[in-house]
Amino acid sequence: MDKHSFTTKHLLQRSLLSYMLYPASRLYAGYMLLRRRYLFPMPYKAAFRVISIGNLTSGGSGKTPITIALAAALKEKGLNVVVASRGYHAAWEDQGGMISDGRKLLTDVSKAGDEALMVASALPGIPVLVGRKRKQVLLQAEKLKPDLLILDDAMQHLKVARDLDIVVFDSKVGLGNGWVIPAGYLREPLSALPENSIILLHSKNGHVAPASLQNTLLRTGLPLFVVHSSADTIISDGRMISPQALAHSSLSLISAIAHPSSFEASAQALALPFRKHYAFPDHFAFAPNNPDMNRFLQEARNQADELYICTDKDYQKLQQITLLKDRLLCLSLKTTLDPALVDKVMGVIDN
Which residue range forms the structural domain that includes residue 221? 38-230+335-350
pLDDT bracket for residue 309 (50, 70, 90) = very high
Residue-level pLDDT at 2: 63
CA distance readout (Å), 261 to 1, 185, 258: 17, 17, 9
Cα–Cα–Cα angle for 296, 63, 60, rounded to 5 degrees: 45
Q: How many helices (DSSP H) and strands (DSSP E) are in the chain?
A: 12, 13
pLDDT bracket for residue 105 (50, 70, 90) = very high
| Nearest to 333, CA basis, from 83, 99, 66, 57 | 66
Q: For 116-167, how does the pLDDT look when each residue is reduced to its tens digit (9 = 90+)?
A: 999 999 999 999 999 999 999 999 999 999 999 999 988 888 999 999 999 9
Please tell me whether residues 185 and 132 are part of one structural domain. yes
Whether residue 64 is contained in a domain is answered as yes
Residue-level pLDDT at 267: 94
Please tell me whether residues 211 and 135 are part of one structural domain. yes
pLDDT bracket for residue 5 (50, 70, 90) = confident
Q: What is the β-pairing status of strands 307-311 and 251-255?
A: parallel
Please tell me whether residues 194 and 146 are part of one structural domain. yes
Total domains in the chain come to 2
Question: 147 near 47, Cβ under 8 Å?
Answer: no
Evaluate the CA torsion angle 15, 20, 25, 26 in order and state its sign.
Answer: positive
Calculate the average pLDDT of the chain: 92
Please tell me whether residues 189 and 133 are part of one structural domain. yes
The region, left, alpha or beta by phi > 0 then psi within -120 to 50, assigned to residue 289 is alpha
Residue-level pLDDT at 4: 65
Please tell me whether residues 210 and 330 are part of one structural domain. no
Query: In this structure, what CATH number is given to the domain that contains residue 48?
Result: 3.40.50.300
Span of 1-15, 153-167, 256-270 with lowest mean pLDDT = 1-15
- Whether residue 211 is predicted with pLDDT greater than 90 in this model: the reply is yes
